[in-house]
Structure 1
Amino acid sequence: MTDATTPPDALPALVATLRQAWQANRPSLDQRRTDLLTLRTALKARLPEMAEAIAADFGHRSHHESLIADGMTVLGEIDHLLQLLRSYAKPRRVGVGWRFWPAKAQLRPVPLGVIGVISPWNYPVNLALIPLATAIAAGNHVLLKPSEHTPRTSAFLQSLLADVFPPERVAVVQGDAALAAAVAGATLDHLVFTGSTAVGRKVMAAAAPNLTPLTLELGGKSPAIVCSDYPLDKAASRLATGKWFNAGQTCIAPDYVLIDSRRQRQLVQQLQTQVQARYGDFRDPSDYTRIINEGQYQRLQGYLAQARERGVPVLELAHIDRDRADRERLIAPTVVLDPPADLDLMREEIFGPILPVCAYPDLEAAISDIQTRDRPLALYVFSERREPVEQVLGQVVAGGVTVNDTLLHFAINGLPFGGVGPSGMGAYHGRAGFDAMSKLLPILYQSRWAASDRLKPPYSKIAGLLKLLVR
């Protein structure tokens, strides 16, 4: 693999090239549609190569997980954009009210120019190409900076996009945190960043001098509430999917579970059953993803060590030899029972296969616990009754919600995806993303005759008209 690092001081010229090309030849709807179709065809043909690259970066990730999370999602979003592109781009009529009749008004989506995308390592194709495809659909040129922690996948993205787009329409840059900081500080027309809350603050500060509009998809501690009426076997199955897909390295994974105290141990037993059914005895965990790098592995091991030192029950739901675990960066699905709030795993986003399961006396107590924390990126509520679901939704503000399942609100193209407060700002997917990467240009068309022609001194002559207008 060749060194394709871009020096930060090369960015201004690169952004200028993208902008000059955009100004000289703004992509038409037909061009955007052709670009999206070409990107879809190219990605579909290279899905096996994509899965190989991601697996190599992680040490091991099931090709099936990559096809679902990084293949299906991107293809589905492109299909959605293709289907609704003309509708999204069409001017939207706006009523002017009787005072300004017979004028007419509209909102016209127009491209912004050059969109920056800084994408993370956990879903390195999904979280790069969905914002990129949305920016292309909206008629922009794109500067993409993929994660340095997945270098093989970043090289794959650079190769894929070079085959689809001319370099003055889409540019891919590779480098470390210094380059990401330079991208955040570049003179872009919009920037989409996906990553941690801590880094999101730095991105926002770097973008502030240029007043660059931002879409920040961050993280936080996304809770799951299992209400007392919900079947535990079904809850465990859906929690297991949400938590242990990609070994928990998912920004919207359930970060902790709140369940009524009398059923806490039963839920753990059901989770144990799910692990056995999905991964067996872990002698050949081919469907289970490894931790991305040594730093992340040691961070997660530190969480578990701290919990054990405090005497908190830590239940590994599968046995893995420690030498093998260290060698492969392999952490078994693990439950931590009722960890104190001051433990690191209850203060920080876990981003791994560790699931705190906390007992609560009643639903109000569970809601109160969530309300003491930052607003989460995702919220999961499990109940077969409408009343408790509405009780939670009426009191907790989150970036997005799935009821009686996990993760799936991300995959619904028509639902905006984004956070709130420390878990992010702005949203993308579908029309939300198209609008974020456009300027909704307000336009008023005045008629040949207009009442405003009379709104001028001497006002004594139009006293009756003024009285009518302010009635």
Structure 2
Amino acid sequence: MTREEIINIFEIQKKNRWVVANSSTQRRILRLQKLREAVIKFEAELYPAFARDFGKPTTEAEITEVYPVLEEIKFTIRHLKNWTKPKRVPTPLPLIGSRSQIRYEAKGQVLIMGPWNYPFNLVMTPLVSAVAAGNVVVLRPSNKTQNVASVIKAIIQHAFPADEVAVVGGDTSIADLLLEMPFDHIFFTGSPRIGRKIMASAAKNLSSVTLELGGKSPAIVHKDAHLDVIVDRLVWASFLNAGQTCVAPDYVFVHKDIELEFQKKIKARIEAVFGSNYSEREQGMDMARVIDPLSLNRLQNLISSSLASGAKLLCGGNANAETRFLEPTVLTGVQAEHAIMSEEIFGPIMPVLSYEDIDKVIQYIRSHDKPLALYLFSQSEKIHEKFLSETTSGAVVINHAIIHVGNPYLPFGGAGTSGLGNYHGFYGFKTFSHEKAVIKQGRLGLSTGLFPPYARWQVRAALFLLRWLSR
């Protein structure tokens, strides 16, 4: 796509921005219904696209990509009329004679930039919220998953005219061009490094931003955890999408009293799910591939460097460079200074650290960047409350992992370097809306008694009343 074509899309959406912003709730619902129909129409083309881009299993793609988008659309349609209603709010006594309300209006022209790891879900879910709020939208899917991006383009062209929603593809130069444009809001999902670049570009136009980033999300397995239950959940969450999930457990603190039992059970679960040897795992159909050779090489270096520093290989570690397959890998005896702890892993590797003092675990978490999620496995309410009150993270899940992303009644977002802002359900609608304060004054009111000249008796009387009311 050329520079001229992209500028033209921006301009035609600019002309249509107020038409869409003032569209009725019913018209927005019809647009969302059309989007849902388009997703279903092209669903069969999505699954082979996921497989071609990075070997994503069809069932996993349905569960983590298509189903969440369809549910987000259904949830939004069900609640949109209530969300768009002006909200009456109280008015203080000094402003007697007036009425106050909050109105939600569209932010205007929106840019949504998606990642490669969930290339459909993490573009389409924010799109649902943006359309519901009455915005015009430019979508920029990741250029690393071009097959999925092609299907997204077909879906959007089927559901929307270009002056409402348009898909723009291309390399990083296209992304840079888009960031030069004065969008009213930019929604980005990706790494903290690129997030900083997005924020700096947005500042030039004073565009508001939502940044859904990542980081090292910890899991803590306390000594009272039900291992038979939590091991299944941790293996699923850690190796879902080959670990290429922003909310994947990035490392696991395990209490020393149950460390050996945990290791035994985690290895057994991996063998039960993915195969008892490398050949079975590579030939299996239940695990995605690493996105590209560069990422695979980075992951292999993290493993080899950590092993050289004293970590132990419990299982896994083997890879096929040609197919970009890296088997589920568990490292034990990991220390904070090991390479595997220096950056977000974003791959099928589980580092396991041992602890005795829960306060030292909390101290470690607090001394690093705020994580996108924290996963705590314990039966103790006291331990639950301790982590809830003494740590900061985008979300906390107790006795499970990742499932919070499936609840549309909860906001999804990070804190600090793991993100800025949130979305899903009503929170997504708010993200793409401006909350306009509206106050309507009747004919009579106290404020007229405060107008100059201030020597009037009415001003003295009004001030006396205000002082009395403020006590």
Residue 468 (structure 1) aligned with residue 465 (structure 2): yes
CA offset at residue 264 of structure 1?
Answer: 1.6
> Who is 1:137 aligned against?
132
Residue 108 (structure 1) aligned with residue 119 (structure 2): no
Q: Which consecutive aligned stretches of 4+ in structure 1 deviate over 6 angstroms post-superposition? A: none
**What secondary structure, in the 3-state scheme, does the structure 2 residue paired with 1:433 have?**
helix
Tell me which amino acid in the other structure corresponds to 1:162. Answer: Q
> Who is 1:286 aligned against?
285
Q: Indicate which of 148, 154, 161 corresponds to 1:153.
A: 148
> Who is 1:298 aligned against?
297
CA offset at residue 272 of structure 1?
Answer: 1.1
Q: Indicate which of 201, 204, 211 corresponds to 2:199.
A: 204
> Who is 1:72 aligned against?
67
**What secondary structure, in the 3-state scheme, does the structure 1 residue paired with 2:396 have?**
strand
**Structure-1 separation of matches of 2:273 and 2:41:** 29
Residue 51 (structure 1) aligned with residue 50 (structure 2): no
CA offset at residue 469 of structure 1?
Answer: 0.5
Native 8 Å contact 1:32 1:139 kept in 2: yes
**Structure-2 separation of matches of 1:162 and 1:304:** 44
1:177 and 1:338, CA in 2 relative to 1: closer, same or farther beyond 3 A? farther
Q: Note the alpha carbon deviations across 1:52-106, whole angstroms, 9 max, x for none.
A: 1111100x11100000000111011111111110111111111111111120010
Residue 426 (structure 1) aligned with residue 408 (structure 2): no
**Structure-2 separation of matches of 1:76 and 1:148:** 26
1:343 and 1:180, CA in 2 relative to 1: closer, same or farther beyond 3 A? farther
> Who is 1:311 aligned against?
310
Residue 35 (structure 1) aligned with residue 40 (structure 2): no
Q: Note the alpha carbon deviations across 1:404-424, whole angstroms, 9 max, x for none.
A: 101011111111111111111
Native 8 Å contact 1:8 1:178 kept in 2: no
**Structure-1 separation of matches of 2:160 and 2:28:** 11
CA offset at residue 368 of structure 1?
Answer: 1.0
1:406 and 1:25, CA in 2 relative to 1: closer, same or farther beyond 3 A? closer
> Who is 1:406 aligned against?
401
State the identity as a percent: 36
**Structure-2 separation of matches of 1:158 and 1:188:** 21
**Structure-2 separation of matches of 1:262 and 1:80:** 44
> Who is 2:443 aligned against?
448
Native 8 Å contact 1:336 1:355 kept in 2: yes
CA offset at residue 193 of structure 1?
Answer: 0.2
**Structure-2 separation of matches of 1:100 and 1:161:** 48
CA offset at residue 459 of structure 1?
Answer: 3.0
Q: Indicate which of 14, 22, 31 corresponds to 1:19.
A: 14
Residue 275 (structure 1) aligned with residue 274 (structure 2): no
Q: Note the alpha carbon deviations across 1:245-268, whole angstroms, 9 max, x for none.
A: 111000000000111112122212
CA offset at residue 445 of structure 1?
Answer: 0.4
> Who is 1:185 aligned against?
180
Greater displacement, 437-446 / 256-265: 256-265
CA offset at residue 167 of structure 1?
Answer: 0.9
> Who is 1:386 aligned against?
381
Tell me which amino acid in the other structure corresponds to 1:407. Answer: I
**Structure-1 separation of matches of 2:49 and 2:120:** 10
Could you tell me which runs of 5 or more consecutive residues in structure 1 were left unpaired when the two chains were aligned.
1-5
**What secondary structure, in the 3-state scheme, does the structure 1 residue paired with 2:435 have?**
strand
CA offset at residue 25 of structure 1?
Answer: 4.7
Q: What are the equivalent positions in structure 2 for 1:325-336 lying under 5 Å apart? A: 325-336=320-331
Residue 360 (structure 1) aligned with residue 355 (structure 2): yes
> Who is 1:238 aligned against?
233
**What secondary structure, in the 3-state scheme, does the structure 1 residue paired with 2:142 have?**
coil
CA offset at residue 24 of structure 1?
Answer: 4.1
CA offset at residue 431 of structure 1?
Answer: 1.2
Native 8 Å contact 2:114 2:190 kept in 1: yes
CA offset at residue 339 of structure 1?
Answer: 2.4
Could you tell me which runs of 5 or more consecutive residues in structure 2 were left unpaired when the two chains were aligned.
none
**What secondary structure, in the 3-state scheme, does the structure 2 residue paired with 1:328 have?**
coil
Q: Note the alpha carbon deviations across 1:142-168, whole angstroms, 9 max, x for none.
A: 100000000000011001110110111
CA offset at residue 9 of structure 1?
Answer: 5.5
**Structure-2 separation of matches of 1:269 and 1:18:** 58
**Structure-2 separation of matches of 1:68 and 1:170:** 26
TM-score by length of 2: 0.95
**Structure-1 separation of matches of 2:57 and 2:335:** 34
CA offset at residue 8 of structure 1?
Answer: 4.3
Greater displacement, 391-400 / 23-32: 23-32
**What secondary structure, in the 3-state scheme, does the structure 2 residue paired with 1:163 have?**
helix
1:25 and 1:383, CA in 2 relative to 1: closer, same or farther beyond 3 A? closer
Tell me which amino acid in the other structure corresponds to 1:329. Answer: R
Count of residues paired in the alignment: 461
Tell me which amino acid in the other structure corresponds to 1:464. Answer: A
CA offset at residue 308 of structure 1?
Answer: 2.1
CA offset at residue 10 of structure 1?
Answer: 4.1
1:226 and 1:15, CA in 2 relative to 1: closer, same or farther beyond 3 A? same
Native 8 Å contact 1:196 1:218 kept in 2: yes
TM-score by length of 1: 0.95
**What secondary structure, in the 3-state scheme, does the structure 1 residue paired with 2:363 have?**
helix
**What secondary structure, in the 3-state scheme, does the structure 2 residue paired with 1:215 have?**
strand
Tell me which amino acid in the other structure corresponds to 1:252. Answer: V
